[in-house]
Structure 1
Amino acid sequence: MEIPICTRCGRIAQYRCAIDGEYLCYRCARVAIIGAHHISRPEISGDIQIEITDKMKQDPKKRSVFETLWDILGYPPAESIDLSREWIPPDFYPYKHKEYNVKTLCIYIDGEPAGFLDFLFTMDPEENISIQYWKMSVHPRYQGTGLFRLMIDKLKQIAYENNVKRLIVSHENDNIPAFIAEYMLGGKILYTRDLAHEEVGRFGIPRRNDIIFAYELK
């Protein structure tokens, strides 16, 4: 998998400019000139494959690639990436839902990993069965191509097949790109919860709370 490098400063990049295709890191993205033409949508040229697997049963080498993608897009930004690291399945499930089976939705383009997210069936705060997803990542090369929409559409299909009426996801308040993506696809704020400690987040925004989005399905 390609490790994107910021063309301005040489750090690991989290974004791709929609104008010239150059990679930008969090810091340089703050000062990049933004205009209406930045909403251009590049097209994907290649064969798209969707794979859904049990997270804890994934091939460690394959999972390591997706964990690397998560590290690239995570915050604080990674200073370096170790492609030789092997993923070890943890002995716990996130959000304390051990009784549910965590799945991973993987996207490949011409056999190369392009994006992923983890999800599970769970009870939401209103005690409705919902699909909760997290740890979603799309490689900067494919940002703006519709891969995230493709993943959400697949989750909606799974929800319909299982008579589930809601998708839920949470983002820290500094994750502006995620807010935009969720709103564009129909997500609405369900509620917020304060974090235990305030810290500086993406783009210098104080990170104070989690914002929970929901997709209401008919």
Structure 2
Amino acid sequence: MGCQACKREPVFRCYICGSTICQNHIRLLPLCPTHVTRHRLAYRIEEEVRPQDGPLGKWIEELFLRSGEEPLTLTFGRTFRVLDLPRFTAYVKERPVAFLSYAELEDDLLIVAFAVLPEFQHRGIGRSLIDRASQRAVEHSKSRLLVSTSNDNVPALCFYLHHGFRIIEIQRDLLTRKHGQTFSGIMGIQIRDEIQLEKELSEL
């Protein structure tokens, strides 16, 4: 299922008509509550702690690449191989539809990779994955949940802020230096900066 406008790999799902769209054709518009509908569906979330290089690992890698990310991910000054990390994976029946990979730091739990298939967005799955990560952090006596995103990823930024995260730092031009150039991201915004966010777990 490609982007409705250009048939490229989709990353997002339209709130109103449900069509899948790529990062170039997404538009952010104000909506009234009537048009923000969430069609619930049955899903389960499983914890997976071993490195994954089989079919599931390939699926995770493809989904992450579709979102414009890389298997080796730089976040909060550290580099991680996504497939080596523990994760929570959401399944609809037997199909994987979303995942959240994380790393445990001394005092914090860092979300390294997080993606939901576009056709399963706006179903509550993303929030459930964040909740599971928060629970794991509390169980392991972590004080914060950390995550970062690029400056073009306005949908992700809105999602995190809506779910209790706060911006703590902007690493200016970090992504420009990483790639040696700037390039277009979501809605044609030039990708330059890493935006770092935190969620204080004492606020849960």
**TM-score range normalised by the length of the shorter chain:** 0.7 to 0.9
Structure of greater Rg: 1
- The question of 1:60 aligning with 2:44 is answered no
TM normalised by structure 1 equals 0.77
Distance 2:89 2:24 in 1: 28
Of the three residues 112, 128, 144, the one matched with 2:95 is: 112
Shift of 1:116: 0.4
Cα 1:75/1:103, change in 2 over 3 Å: closer
Cα 1:96/1:139, change in 2 over 3 Å: closer
Distance 1:186 1:20 in 2: 28
CA contact (8 A) 1:132 1:167 kept: yes
Task: Give 1:167's aligned residue.
Answer: 145
Q: Give the number of equivalent residue pairs.
A: 190
Task: Give 1:29's aligned residue.
Answer: 26
State percent identity of aligned pairs. 26
Of the three residues 31, 46, 50, the one matched with 2:45 is: 50
**Cα offsets for 1:112-164 (capped at 9, x unmatched):** 111002101114xxxxx100012210010111111111011001111111111
Q: Which amino acid aligns with 1:43?
A: H
- The question of 1:216 aligning with 2:200 is answered yes
CA contact (8 A) 1:18 1:38 kept: no
Shift of 1:39: 5.3
Question: Segments of 4+ in structure 1 off by > 4 A?
Answer: none
Q: Secondary structure at the match of 2:58?
A: helix
- The question of 1:122 aligning with 2:119 is answered no
Distance 1:213 1:145 in 2: 23
After superposition, residues 51-200 of structure 1 pair within 5 angstroms as 51-56=46-51, 58=52, 60-74=54-68, 95-96=78-79, 102-123=85-106, 129-194=107-172, 195=174, 196=177, 197-200=181-184
Distance 1:96 1:115 in 2: 22
Distance 2:50 2:187 in 1: 31
Distance 2:79 2:190 in 1: 27
Q: Which consecutive residues of structure 1, in runs of 5 or more, have no partner in the other structure?
A: 77-88, 124-128
RMSD of aligned alpha carbons: 2.6
Distance 2:36 2:46 in 1: 28
Distance 2:45 2:24 in 1: 32
Distance 1:96 1:24 in 2: 29
**Cα offsets for 1:64-83 (capped at 9, x unmatched):** 1121221222269xxxxxxx
